[in-house]
Amino acid sequence: MTREELQNSLPDLAPGATFEEGGEWLNMNVTAESWKAVSHALKFTAGFDFDYLFCLTCVDWKTHLTMVYHLTSTTHRHNMVVKIKLDRTKPEVETVCDTWRTAEFHEREVFELFGVVFLNHPDLRNLILPDVWDGFPLRKDYEDPINMIKL
Amino acid sequence: MDVNPKAPAPFPGEVIQTPGGGILVSRMDQVINWARSNSLWPLVFGTSCCAIEMMSTAAAKYDWSRFGFEVARATPRQADVIIIAGTIVNKMAPVLKRLYDQMAEPKYVIAMGACATSGGPFFYNTYSVVKGADHIIPVDVYIAGCPPRPEALIHAMLSLQEKIKSGMTREQIKMEKPEQSF
Amino acid sequence: MIEEVATTEQGDLVINIGPQHPATHGVLHLVITLNGETIKKVEPHLGYIHRSIEKMCESLSYRQFIYVTSRMDYLSSHINNHACAMLVEKGMQIEIPERAQYIRVIMDELTRIASHQLWWGAMGMDIGAFTPFFLAFREREMINSIMEETCGARLTMNYMVPGGVMADIHPNFCRTVKEFITHFKSKIDEYDTLLTGNVIFQNRMKGVGILSKEDAISFGCSGPVARASGVKCDIRKLYPYEVYDKVNFEEILATEGDSFARYNVRLLEMRESMRIIEQLIDNIPEGDIQAKTKAVLKLPKGEFYTRIETARGEFGIYVVSEGGTTPYRIKFRSPGFSNLSALDHMVRGQKLGDMVAIMGTLDLVIPDIDR
Amino acid sequence: MGPGSIIALMIAAIAFSGIAILISKLLLKPSNSVTKGEPYECGIPTIGPSWIQFSVGYYLFALIFLIFDVELIFLFPWAVVVKKLGWVAFVEIIIFLFILFMGFLYAHKKKALKWM
């Protein structure tokens, strides 16, 4: 499906979704609460089949955090980006690792580098950083005077 | 290089006289050091890109077994020299220290590449890199380069052999003068 | 649908295939719960080479961050640099000359062959045969000398710049590449007779570590690991970049999805890469090798995502730019990270010895996983 | 080949290993630390108890190997004198091997050799 068809057929799938202009692929903003149903629908409804989550990351916009999911379909070959706005103090979003198994590792990485809590993730622990680590390194306001030698 | 050089008159620092001892002991020490320096078994310890250059040195073209480095042992118990090939990160530091302690006694360390020498390209703006492996274990020979060429690694091994023969490695100095260990 | 997280009962032995282990090709720490010889659970602990590259790149300009990526997946360093250069070119709409495109694709394919050679040598050593290591490095040294002639470096060639390539190819570049191709054509048959035809090797690899197609997609695997399970995911075919659309080559697919299929896919990919190089090496067009670019590169405000097919899979760079000289946020989608997540699923119920074979066919490069 | 040569061989064997250990004892500068004494497991302290009950499969394999290893040891003296004894020794050894082969078949049928 091309980008316009996607844009027209998506609202009935995700009622509260808004779309952004610009960028290479269709950007869809979804609320954190509805993300569980939307992700399930995106993968299992016939026409979409977004079965390949190839990039899951988070961006810290100093006022809020944005979760970014890059999805593609191995059958229809169309791509899409889903974005979720989370507030900075208590970022929480539903896990998607039962729809896409690759999310298990990616979510653990975002959890330790950004502090986003993924609800009912089977094994949410530090994956890359040592088990005891204060602060979330990839946030913009992360200060580490001992290790970080600023240029 | 001769073993006990006479220090020039206005010598700022203090010269550590390597204890020569009698003819027999010094003769015996030199034979032992000569034997040790010609069969240094490296530990299989490659963390990142320099490990590939170390493997190229181990392969046929730059063949380090010409100098007695043939056997790369996987366990520290049977290894003589750790070649720190790659970046040492905060999470890896205790592991490296533990490996160094578990090595049998005449042990030497070569810090290969800019990362092991000083953190290299990851010196600025990184929260997890140890800026140089000598923060963790005493290093005998440093190699510059990112990654250093196999010839540079072989040159470092030869200078380590020279150091061992002349008894100037950190571990040997520490053994002779335990109270002055640094 | 998720396998229950296996707990460690009383009779289980928990061992560390730890950071310093010959089978992990780097500093990967696997905590394995064993019931006798069969594996119940594999839990990777990463971070032993996490150099905080994404935090560092937020303070590097668009010309500087290219060379950090060749320290991540150092076996396909050309291809990573190529992805960064493509990202900047797509962001700033720089059109690169035809000659630079040809040189880039040839260099990518040479790096892919070199990476698969090293993997083949390490694979042999994992299974216990020591000769493949020396054979593989003999050919790899030929590629290293070709690279050194043109780019001046053997492993981390900082050769790709935004706008084209840094220097023109060495006068006898074409001759040495052709010599290498003819030499390697006979040698790759030798690789087959040495390992592929060996019955012991086949028994160690066949039917071990099966990854079904749905699991490969669900785990986000890419590259030879996914193609061995039948997933069509070759970026050179799906989203052709540079001159890959002008070159005819096949995407190697297998269906069994076991270790032997992953092994064969890589060997056939080496042959495909040679075919690509042969089609390109004779007709590299004349012309300049670098497009005019401004001194200070500033990506316009917005997000960009480039994806490229490295030797291990799909390497993607996602940049959020605020229009400044340095990226606001950069995320490297590394193929090894997702391929590793499938290891636990593949290895359950297998023997401990088989796990080494499976990890060998995953072709993991640990700094690519930890970033 | 009197008893003297056997004693000489024994002394030489003991002396060979004894001297080697003695030399290293003399030259050794003892230097052991706590971490040096700990077991080496890829640079990480071991997790959980390593003194656990091993599964029975390992013991079965070890026992069966022991049986046939001892059987082989019996063949050595037999091989030395088979020339002198002629056919009688040969038939005798066939019976001996046949009995043990029956043992092997029994172990195979009982799936002792099947790795669990």
Residue among B91, B124, B125 minimizing CB distance to A130? B91
The rounded distance, in Å, linking the Cα atoms of D86 and D97 is 17
Contact C331 A77 (CB under 8 A): no
CA distance to partner chain B, nearest, from residue C120 (Å) = 14
- Among B77, B105, B175, whose Cβ lies nearest the Cβ of D40? B77
Q: For position B1, what pLDDT does the model report?
A: 42
Q: Is the pLDDT of residue B68 over 90?
A: no
Q: Is B112 helix (H, G, I), strand (E, B) or coil?
A: strand
- pLDDT of A2: 80
Q: What is the mean pLDDT of each run of 10 residues along chain C (371 residues)?
A: 52 85 90 87 92 92 90 92 93 92 94 95 91 92 93 90 91 94 93 90 92 92 93 91 91 92 94 94 91 90 92 93 92 93 91 91 92 85
Considering only the beta carbons, identify the residue of C47, C305, C338 that sits closest to A102.
Answer: C338
Q: Which of residues 12-51 of D touch B (CB under 8 A)?
A: 27, 29, 31, 33, 35-36, 38, 40, 43-45
Is C27 inside any structural domain?
no
Lowest mean per-residue pLDDT among A6-10, B48-52, C95-99: A6-10
Structure tokens at C214: 């749905």
CB contact under 8 A, A149 and B128: no
List all residues 6 or more positions away from C193 whose beta carbon is below 8 Å from its beta carbon: none
For chain A, say whether C316 makes contact (Cβ under 8 Å).
yes
Question: Residue D44: its pLDDT value, please?
Answer: 87
Burial (0-12, 13-18, 19+ Cβ within 10 Å), C166: middle
Shortest CB distance from C52 goes to which of B47, B59, B126? Answer: B126
C117 falls within a domain:
yes
Rounded Cα–Cα distance for residues B54 and B77 (Å): 21
Q: CA-nearest residue of chain B to C60?
A: B125
Each residue of A80-138: pLDDT tens digit?
Answer: 999 999 998 999 999 998 899 999 999 999 999 999 999 989 888 899 998 888 889 99
Q: How far apart, in whole angstroms, are the C-alpha atoms of residue A21 and residue B80? A: 62
When CB atoms are compared, the residue of C49, C118, C154 closest to B89 is C49
C236 part of a folded domain: yes
C333 vs A contacts (CB less than 8 Å): 54-55, 70
Indicate the residue of C56, C137, C138 with minimum beta-carbon distance to B125: C56
The beta-carbon neighbor of B124 closest among A129, A137, A149 is A149
- In 3-state terms, what secondary structure has residue D79? helix
Q: Which residue of chain A comes nearest to C233, CA vs CA?
A: A74
pLDDT band at residue D45, thresholds of 50, 70 and 90? confident
Q: What was the ipTM of the complex prediction?
A: 0.88
Question: Which of A129, A130, A151 has its CB closest to that of B125?
Answer: A151
State yes or no: pLDDT of A16 exceeds 80.
no
* Residue C271 belongs to domain spanning: 50-370
pLDDT band for position B20 (cuts 50, 70, 90) = very low
Measured between CB atoms, which of A130, A149, A150 is closest to B90?
A130
Test mutation, C7, C42, C55, chain A, max A CBs within 10 A: C55
**C28 to chain D: nearest residue by CA?**
D42
Residue C313 lies in a domain: yes
**Strand A18-20 relative to strand C13-17, pairing:** unpaired
**How far apart are the C-alpha atoms of C341 and A103, rounded to whole Å?**
9
Residue B129, min C-alpha distance to chain D (Å)? 19
Q: What is the pLDDT of residue B144?
A: 93
Instruction: Please tell me the predicted confidence (pLDDT) of residue B6.
Output: 64
Q: Is the pLDDT confidence value at B2 over 70?
A: no
D3-29+55-109 is classed CATH 1.20.58.1610: yes
Q: Which residues pair with A52 in a beta bridge?
A: A72
Residues, chain B: 182
**Is B87 within 8 Å of C118 when comparing Cβ atoms?**
no
Count B/C contacts: CB-CB distance under 8 Å.
107
pLDDT at C2 (0 to 100): 42
Question: Residue D24: closest CA among chain B residues belongs to which residue?
Answer: B32
How confident is the model over A30-47, as a mean pLDDT? Answer: 88
The pLDDT of residue B16 is: 60
- Is C66 an 8 Å CB contact of chain B? no
pLDDT digits (tens, 9 = 90+) for D1-31: 688 999 999 999 999 999 999 988 887 777 7
pLDDT of residue B26: 67
| Shortest CA gap A132–chain B (Å) | 11
- CA distance linking residue B31 with residue B23, whole number of Å: 12
Q: Is D52's CB within 8 Å of C13's CB?
A: yes
* C140 contacts on B by Cβ (under 8 Å): 56, 59
- Chains A and B make contact, 3+ CB pairs within 8 Å: yes
CA-based nearest distance B164→chain C, Å: 26
pLDDT in tens, B80-125: 999 999 999 999 999 999 999 999 888 899 999 999 999 889 998 9
Collect all residues of chain B within an 8 Å Cβ-Cβ radius of residue D29: 105, 175
Count of structural domains within chain C: 1
Q: Where are the domains of chain B?
A: 41-169
Domains of chain A by residue range: 3-119
Pairing of strands C160-161, C164-165: antiparallel
Residues of A in contact with C316 (CB under 8 A): 54-55, 70
Does residue D97 register a pLDDT over 90? Answer: yes
Closest of C144, C120, C145 to residue C131, by C-alpha: C120
Tokens 């533990």 found at: B98
Residues of C in contact with B74 (CB under 8 A): 21-22
Chain D residue with Cα closest to C29:
D42
Contact between D29 and B105 using a beta-carbon 8 Å cutoff: yes
User: How many Cβ atoms from other residues are within 10 Å of residue B88's Cβ?
Assistant: 28
Which CATH class name applies to B41-169?
A: alpha beta
Q: How close does chain C come to D91, measured CA to CA in Å?
A: 38
Task: Supply the pLDDT for residue B181.
Answer: 43
Q: What is the pLDDT of residue D23?
A: 87
Average pLDDT of the residues of chain D: 87
Residue-level pLDDT at B21:
45
Q: What angle do CA A143, A144, A148 make, to 5 degrees?
A: 115
Contacts of range A1-5, beta carbons closer than 8 Å, 24 or more positions apart: A1/A47, A1/A48, A1/A76, A1/A78, A2/A78, A3/A78
Quick one: which of C83, C147, C75 has its CA closest to C115? C75
Q: Does A112 touch chain C (CB under 8 A)?
A: no
Q: Which one of D25, D32, D34, D36 makes the best mutation probe of the B interface by having the most chain B beta carbons within 10 Å?
A: D36
- The correct CATH number of A3-119 out of 3.30.460.80, 3.40.50.970, 3.10.310.30, 3.40.50.300 is 3.30.460.80
Q: Which of B36, B129, B138, B43 has the alpha carbon at shortest distance from B85?
A: B43
Enter the pTM of the model.
Answer: 0.89
Q: Is B66 exposed, middle or buried (0-12, 13-18, 19+ CB in 10 A)?
A: exposed
- Inter-chain contact B99–D36, Cβ cutoff 8 Å? no
Cis peptide before B147 (omega within 30 of 0): yes
CA atoms within 13 A on the CB side of A68: 25
List subunits contacting chain B, requiring 3 or more Cβ pairs under 8 Å.
A, C, D
